[in-house]
Amino acid sequence: MPELPRDSVGLVTPQTAHFDDPLLLVCGKTLPSYDLVYETYGTLNAERSNAVLICHALSGHHHAAGYHSETDRKPGWWNTHIGPGKSIDTNRFFVVSLNNLGGCHGSTGPSSTNPETGRLWGPDFPMVTVSDWVNSQVRLADHLGIERFAAIVGGSLGGMQVLQWTLSYPERLANAVVIAATPKLSAQNIAFNEVARQAIRSDRDFHDGWYAEHDTLPRHGLKLARMVGHITYLSEDAMGTKFGRELRFDDLNFGFDVDFEVESYLRYQGDAFSTSFDANTYLLMTKALDYFDPAAAHQGDLAKAVAPAQCPFLVVSFSTDWRFPPSRSKELVNALIRSGKSVSYANIDSPHGHDAFLMPEPRYQDVFSGFMNRIAKQLGLKPAQAQEAAHAF
Amino acid sequence: MPELPRDSVGLVTPQTAHFDDPLLLVCGKTLPSYDLVYETYGTLNAERSNAVLICHALSGHHHAAGYHSETDRKPGWWNTHIGPGKSIDTNRFFVVSLNNLGGCHGSTGPSSTNPETGRLWGPDFPMVTVSDWVNSQVRLADHLGIERFAAIVGGSLGGMQVLQWTLSYPERLANAVVIAATPKLSAQNIAFNEVARQAIRSDRDFHDGWYAEHDTLPRHGLKLARMVGHITYLSEDAMGTKFGRELRFDDLNFGFDVDFEVESYLRYQGDAFSTSFDANTYLLMTKALDYFDPAAAHQGDLAKAVAPAQCPFLVVSFSTDWRFPPSRSKELVNALIRSGKSVSYANIDSPHGHDAFLMPEPRYQDVFSGFMNRIAKQLGLKPAQAQEAAHAF
């Protein structure tokens, strides 16, 4: 049997927490009860002071690190940054990673049964916002007996949840790591999300969200949504380097089959996603992105909005990220500084666009692990075991 | 009756030229016969030396300037730049503007009848390339008795046609004006086109391109294609300034109706386009864009590819154009200079993204009219009538 990589957290098993306390949502509706599926990596120390919460992005889930079986070919989505000796060092930290409400990987969402009707939630699943997710994550923390996280960490939409934590529950986290995020979406960001939504909702197999009851999937719509999304995750240069104008076959076909490698790649990515991700969940996630805007309640003054935050921040952006460009991170950094917060900011040179937050990049790892190591030191965390692996790079 | 603006060319009437000489296309197929619909503005001088050809972009057509009726509310698409006293001064120049082959505004295209079958061409219309368009435009020039254009001018996909003219028929134009164009599409450009094509082709009303015979239109697909396109025509900043996060109504709706103004705008633009433009034409135009790459036959050496060009060039780009950014124009400029050509280049500061080539912008107009005025002077062109209107700005 092949061995799992020694710098990974190894085999992990998702767990499920059930909550019977109704959750009042920002939209005004109430979730009567719900499940949250989560994984943990590392060991919670006796003081319960070494917990790190991971918040996931648009199409993410609880499986952030390690493997689900010995034969798993792909580890969790942030395996590069979570593990023994990695930026989030599981020899010292106890890492919690969950699937958000409304998700399609085990937590209660559109594909779950609505206890009040006995029917799938489907499109009746209520709109969930970043605040709602944070409220549900607090309950998960209570469930796990974690009064205060050593750090809460997230990239992209995950970073927005981190920011919301510092505003909704400032006393319950000691540090905030906000990566490749933005304090609010731009008109262009919303525009791309709206294209994705229209693609899904105009697919004739969508059936107003009741596709499951019609034994079908809005495959074409979800494929298009993913293709558009994918373009915005990569930088123009990264796409150029990866594909250029390379032809898939020897000649142009003068038809509508694949001519260029980039077409083949996008079709493949879109097809794979279209049968593995739930369309109603995708719609909900894009709306949570669009709605996030903590400054809105303060006449657009972000410095006022972040006033409740208490903990130090690490903010990271990537030079070629055009989805949430460095300028949006700087907006947040400026507001935090104006509001008197402690904030470290690094703009990382990377050719990989928005996707860079998922990737290894030496300076990114130095900054990320440097910040996490300082937290470990301040908390007096000792490695749970001798640190075997150096950084994998 | 309301008077038409005095700085416009006034009322214009499209004309049609019929061609019976079969046209061999790059794809290997032959168009047995075809029509080209076109308009002209101004007067051809006795020497036939003052003709300017306008090449249109993706969704453009022959109606570039003036009005089709006294009650027309909108003039032609480039009315800002074509007219008495404007950059392309119709008091001096004789302007020819056509609808390209494969188009849906009167020239032979998928909505025309295939003379060999008596059925609509539909998806059987052969793939047309930029070179094919230029070959057909030469025949239009012959038909009009124009041996040599004083200038050929185009923006975006139109600019690519201008570049191809200088390579295929260098002796038939005295000047080339290439605006907001690129010598070849990037992987990202192709990716966006592929999303548009997939949107159209996966619409169940597309019927493999035979939608007309099914009395329907792939409205949803064409709407999505236009929405994606529209995002790439505007700069992020322009979208932000125009829409920001403005709500359409007072409150968030926590559903999938329109929340933000930008969603409303995109839906409106998409809907309008989805019933006014032909889907098969849209597909053809995007492929013509993707395929254009004159350097490909020269191992990617653009300087070698442009060697046949003889005339002076004006190349114009716009600072916030991210569809065909200034770097792509500079690529062309560098190749022209390396190849020993005469080239004037201006990168215009504009907030309007790719769409800037359609808009008034003082420096753009100065550069454009400066170049055209020099041509007029060199040719000894005198105003056909006293120039009444100064620039409208």
Q: Which two tokens stand for residue A229?
A: 């999304």
Task: Decide: helix, strand or coil at residue B336.
Answer: helix
Spell out a b/e string for B41-62, using b for 16 or more CB atoms within 10 Å of the CB, else e: bbebbeeebbbbbbbbbbbbbb
Q: Tell me whether A227 touches chain B (CB under 8 Å).
A: yes
pLDDT over 70 at A2, yes or no: no
Average pLDDT over residues A135-162: 98
By percentage, how much of chain A surpasses pLDDT 90? 94
Higher-scoring residue by pLDDT: B231, B383: B231
DSSP string, A273-333: HHHHS-HHHHHHHHHHHHH--GGGGGTT-HHHHTTT--S-EEEEEETT--SS-HHHHHHHH
- Nearest-Cα residue of chain B relative to residue A204: B204
- Residue B234 has a CB neighbour count (10 Å cut-off) of 28
Q: State the average pLDDT over residues A139-147.
A: 98
pLDDT of residue B384: 64
Q: Rounded distance, CA B22 to CA B1, Å?
A: 46
Cβ atoms B289, B157 nearer than 8 A: yes
Q: Which distant-in-sequence residues (6+ apart) come within 8 Å of A380 by Cβ?
A: none
Please check the confidence at residue B388 and state whether its pLDDT lies above 90: no
**Does B231 sit within 8 Å of A186, measured CB to CB?**
no
Is A355 labeled as ligand-binding?
yes
Contacts (Cβ under 8 Å, ≥6 apart) of B262: A187, A190, A191, A194, B239, B242, B243, B246
Query: What is the pLDDT averaged over residues B204-230?
Result: 97
Residue A315 scores a pLDDT above 50: yes
Distance, CA of B287 to CA of B272 (rounded, Å): 23
Residue B255 has pLDDT above 80, yes or no: yes
Mention every residue, 6+ apart, whose C-beta is less than 8 A from residue B118: none
For residue A175, the distance in angstroms to the closest alpha carbon of chain B comes to: 30
Q: Which residue of B has its CA nearest to A288?
A: B254
| Residues B132-171: tens digit of each pLDDT | 999 999 999 999 999 999 999 999 999 999 999 999 999 9
Residues of B in contact with A230 (CB under 8 A): 191
Tokens standing for residue A240:
């150029």
Contact indicator for A99, A56 with CB cutoff of 8 Å: yes
Confidence at B389, pLDDT banded by 50, 70, 90: very low
pLDDT at B152: 98
Query: What pLDDT band is residue B227 in, cutting at 50, 70 and 90?
Result: very high
pLDDT in tens, A316-346: 999 999 999 999 999 999 999 999 999 999 9
| CA-based nearest residue in chain B for residue A208 | B256
- The structure tokens listed for A183 are 């304090």
Is there a catalytic annotation at residue A61? no
Q: Name every chain A residue with its beta carbon within 8 A of the beta carbon of B299.
A: none
Q: Rounded to the nearest 10 degrees, how much is the dihedral formed by the CA atoms of A70, A75, A81, A82? A: -50
CB within 8 Å: A228 and B228: yes
> In the predicted model, what is the mean pLDDT of residues A158-178?
98
Calpha distance B134→A291 (Å, rounded):
48
Which residues from A are below 8 Å from B126, CB to CB?
Answer: 254
DSSP designation for B124: G
- How confident is the model over A341-361, as pLDDT tens digits? 999 999 999 999 999 999 999
- Residue B3 has a pLDDT of 79
What class does CATH assign to A185-291?
A: mainly alpha
Would you call B224 and A252 a contact, using CB atoms and an 8 Å cutoff? Answer: no
Angle at A364 between CA A362 and CA A368, to 5 degrees: 120
CB contact under 8 A, A220 and B197: no
Question: A349 in contact with B at a CB cutoff of 8 Å?
Answer: no
Residue A393: per-residue pLDDT? 36
What share of chain A has pLDDT > 70, as a percent? Answer: 97
**Is B187 within 8 Å of A223 when comparing Cβ atoms?**
no
A288 interface with B at CB cutoff 8 Å: no
C-alpha dihedral (B250, B252, B258, B264), degrees to nearest 10: 50
Residue B235 pLDDT exceeds 50: yes
Question: Which secondary structure element, helix H or strand E, spans residue B152, and what is its range?
Answer: strand B151-155
Q: What is the CA radius of gyration of chain B?
A: 21
**If you average pLDDT over every residue of chain A, what do you get?**
95
For residue A392, pLDDT beyond 80: no
CB A166 within 8 A of CB A176: yes
Cβ contact B187–A252 (<8 Å): no
How far is Cα B276 from Cα B267, in angstroms, rounded to an integer?
A: 14
> In chain A, how many H helices and how many E strands?
10, 12
* CB pair distance less than 8 Å for B194 and A252: no
Strand bridging mode A30-31 / A23-24: antiparallel
- Tell me the domain boundaries of chain A: 1-184+295-392, 185-291
φ, ψ of residue A221 to 5 degrees: the values are: -65, -45
Q: State mean pLDDT over B48-63.
A: 97
Count, residues in chain A: 393
Mutate to test the interface with A, among B203, B220, B293, B321 (most CBs of A within 10 A): B220
CA atoms within 13 A on the CB side of B240: 11
Q: Per-residue pLDDT tens for A48-81? A: 999 999 999 999 999 999 999 999 989 999 999 9
Q: Does B204 touch chain A (CB under 8 A)?
A: yes
Chain B residues with CB under 8 Å of A202 CB are 220, 223-224
pLDDT recorded at residue B2: 62
Arithmetic mean of pLDDT, A89-115: 97
Residues in chain A with CB shorter than 8 Å from the CB of B124 are: none
Which of B187, B239, B256 is nearest residue A187 as measured by Cβ atoms? B239
Sequence-ordered strand ranges (E) for chain A: 15-19, 23-24, 30-31, 34-41, 51-55, 82-83, 88-89, 94-98, 151-155, 176-179, 313-318, 343-348
Residues 6+ away with beta carbon under 8 Å from A332 = A163, A178, A181, A182, A183, A302, A306, A315
Is the pLDDT reported for residue B386 higher than 80?
A: no
Which pLDDT band holds residue B96 (cuts at 50, 70, 90)? very high
Cα A239 from chain centre: 22
Chain A contact for B236 (CB, 8 A cutoff): yes
Q: How many angstroms away from the CA of A338 is the closest CA of chain B?
A: 23
Dig out the tokens for A267 from the structure: 């079709």
**How far is residue A75's CA from residue A86's CA, in Å, rounded to a whole number?**
14
Which residues of A fall within a CB distance of 8 Å from B293? 245
DSSP bridge pairs for A89:
A83
% chain B with pLDDT above 90: 94
Residue A382 confidence class, pLDDT cut points 50, 70, 90: confident
The mean of the pLDDT values for chain B is 95
Topology agreement, domain A1-184+295-392 and domain A185-291 = no
> Which amino acid, B210?
W
Q: Which two tokens stand for residue A264?
A: 């083949």
Q: What is the CA A149 to chain-centroid distance, rounded? A: 18
The answer on pLDDT for B122 being more than 70 is yes
The count of CB pairs under 8 A between chains A and B is 144
CB contact, 8 Å: A57 with chain B?
Answer: no
Flag if A190 and B263 touch (Cβ within 8 Å). Answer: yes
Q: Which amino acid is at A374?
A: R
* Pick among A25, A182, A190, A280 to test the B interface (most B CBs inside 10 A): A190
Fold of the CATH domain A1-184+295-392 = Rossmann fold (3.40.50)
Distance between A287 CA and the closest CA of chain B, angstroms: 8
Q: Residue holding tokens 């049997």? A: A1
A322-341 residues touching B, CB cutoff 8 A: none
